[in-house]
Structure 1
């Protein structure tokens, strides 16, 4: 019997969820910029996805939204006075900065950190490195508060190591677990960690930004004390980035011994698979599932977010389950592929469709919304229990969201100073439910 399990810590979507169009290279974000969002529906949808996994017998956690607006950004930009003064002046003179200060992008917890389980690390601790997210202004604001959140949840230094974010320089650009896959025979067995990067140090590429550097990935692997023969560094295909795959988890997902990916996920697929097999030698036999472009064109994979799905080991099932957005079911080529996938004798036996449309319209599917953390029984007992969900706690969080979140929000509404108080009170109510009041 395994002494470890994979815990999904989903980001609870915050009350300022809006379609600000801030993310260069994120096609969905750009396409829906300026539209009316529904923060209440978004948060309820996310919590329903969490409920689905709880009902499936999985351990599910939640990360609270960060404080928004980020007044530190606005003050650093030269705005002063009362909160109302700052918001009013920013709305008039720098509306793009105000949108960045209100961004709820921390909901996509796959970018919160890179995580290495204790089975892989030299000191036998569970390691976290919060992502600096330095490529995008609105995301670069997150890591100090994300670090504080992780320290609050994983406070036992004998079992957990929460590192500082890497230097906020282009050479160290880091986007967290969205560019990282951990593979193993079982969750508690030593594994192989795959780090995917878009560019080398100092390299300039045309088109959409390549957000992850090899230097950042190597620095994290060293800090986590990984055995380098069991760490693989692979380059993401430039074609994928140019098509809108701003993170590798838009074209690739893995779990246990299975890697599920698009034909154009990696710059050199053969070399990547060879390196993974060499790194896995003696630990497990890699099961690659590559989707050909002739079966699912890259454009369809991008629009449906087939690979931005959760690949999970569900209790009682002998094959993995793919938790996919409903957009995959609604895209003919992708739906047909999924039907063939489950009818095959491969490692993926079922596709479960979930509705996260509010998140999808900003460019984040089921996999974006969660940070995967492999934890032993002892580590689970040592972490902050208030963020581990059951249905009663989900009900309580949904009731709070329905009471405090708006059901309509446009980017123009951010200019209302009263909205800042709404966001603060909504977040404080959530922190109170999760017993994380110290983060207020």
Structure 2
């Protein structure tokens, strides 16, 4: 059976703001308290989803996580109705309520790590929900994300869903943003590369987004043979300059890796092993393309998909479209790669201001046809769903949103009904 790639994305929520909650995310910090436009971001996200649908990419769209997170409030002793809880949380501590309102679950590359059945010893697709332990506003996403994944991958004949790893700094896990899979036709199993930022066994251990312990644990949970796993350390230089995930300093398809020269510590061994498997590896030199330029353009956060004609398509942010340095590197990649790469550009400026490009907005799931048939059809994206989502977003999302707006009674009163409408359209309102 031929395999396909299912993309899992999420519609941006109506509380999307620029709260500057991730201190290691340059864009997030620089744009803190900028007035947000949730309507525009949602509309542009729908355009991207439509483009992928037109290219034949099957998609599941999660409804946005309900915000504020009432469970997180109750756990910390807040009581009363939503309005009272919001008012109390606002007074509790600077940034606390903003964390509970964050729409950061839209970046589904951090939702989980997924490995296909061909790679595991038990022949199942394995999924581990990410604990996102490095930042509070993201750590509260795990429970809602896991519940959605459990409904999506409910058939245990094909799927094995694992709970998030322990919520401790030594097991900090940020999902598929730090995982790459490579596969050539001559091999049954793929080669899985797990990129980590910190090693808890190192005496100088400082919490990072992805730890070696987390990556090792996922390999064990997913029943991956040691011979088909590579553990690669991200470079200190990249981390110190604001590269907080692997997917903003490298990108890959099944047989192609494009990476920045300063992405990894001692990357020679990694590249040698990949090339020995027939993987095309393209190194982008720092003297031609700095880490700062990588963050400015989010070039490495572009998204590879298989187009409707079966060819490789690279979906990039429009910030790359007229960038001379990007175009030079695209020419180099095309020269090195044996097949034609088609390019497409999408407007994701609102997401980029919070540090997320095209690849951040999707979780890749490789399935064979039988496994795909086990996905409940109610969750699959259709043109009709896109039109219905467009109508709700246009009617209820705000063109301008600041923290002060969220504190108003009218905003709070209209918030939960919007979530309900979106859940109904996307098929998530009933079991």
Match of 2:117, SS? coil
* 1:12-91 equivalent positions in 2, closer than 5 A: 12-91=11-90
* 1:314 and 2:300 are equivalent in the alignment: no
Match of 2:345, SS? strand
| CA displacement at 1:390 relative to structure 2 | 2.5
Unaligned runs of 5+ in 2: none
**Cα 1:203–1:426, aligned 2, differ >3 Å: closer, same or farther?**
farther
Is the Cα–Cα contact under 8 Å of residues 110 and 371 in structure 1 kept in the other structure?
Answer: yes
1:235 paired residue number: 233
Q: Distance in 2 between matches of 1:30 and 1:348?
A: 38
**Cα 1:148–1:19, aligned 2, differ >3 Å: closer, same or farther?**
same
| CA displacement at 1:80 relative to structure 2 | 2.4
**Cα 1:99–1:187, aligned 2, differ >3 Å: closer, same or farther?**
farther
Q: 2:320 aligns with which of 315, 328, 351?
A: 328
**Cα 1:139–1:300, aligned 2, differ >3 Å: closer, same or farther?**
same
Task: Deviation per CA, 1:385-425: give whole Å up to 9, x if none.
Answer: 12222322211211121122112111222222443343321
Q: 1:249 aligns with which of 232, 247, 250?
A: 247
Is the Cα–Cα contact under 8 Å of residues 9 and 63 in structure 1 kept in the other structure?
Answer: yes
The total of aligned residue pairs comes to 431
TM-score, normalising length: structure 2: 0.95
| CA displacement at 1:221 relative to structure 2 | 0.8
* 1:424 and 2:420 are equivalent in the alignment: no
| CA displacement at 1:51 relative to structure 2 | 0.9
Is the Cα–Cα contact under 8 Å of residues 341 and 348 in structure 1 kept in the other structure?
Answer: no
1:123 paired residue number: 122
* 1:411 and 2:403 are equivalent in the alignment: yes
* 1:128-277 equivalent positions in 2, closer than 5 A: 128-185=127-184, 189-201=188-200, 203=202, 210-277=208-275
**Cα 1:360–1:206, aligned 2, differ >3 Å: closer, same or farther?**
farther
TM-score, normalising length: structure 1: 0.93
| CA displacement at 1:339 relative to structure 2 | 4.4
Q: CA RMSD in A?
A: 2.1
* 1:383-422 equivalent positions in 2, closer than 5 A: 383-422=375-414
**Cα 1:163–1:273, aligned 2, differ >3 Å: closer, same or farther?**
same
Match of 1:368, SS? helix
| CA displacement at 1:151 relative to structure 2 | 0.7
Is the Cα–Cα contact under 8 Å of residues 132 and 167 in structure 1 kept in the other structure?
Answer: yes
Is the Cα–Cα contact under 8 Å of residues 68 and 420 in structure 1 kept in the other structure?
Answer: no
Q: Distance in 2 between matches of 1:187 and 1:156?
A: 30
Is the Cα–Cα contact under 8 Å of residues 21 and 29 in structure 1 kept in the other structure?
Answer: yes
Match of 1:119, SS? helix
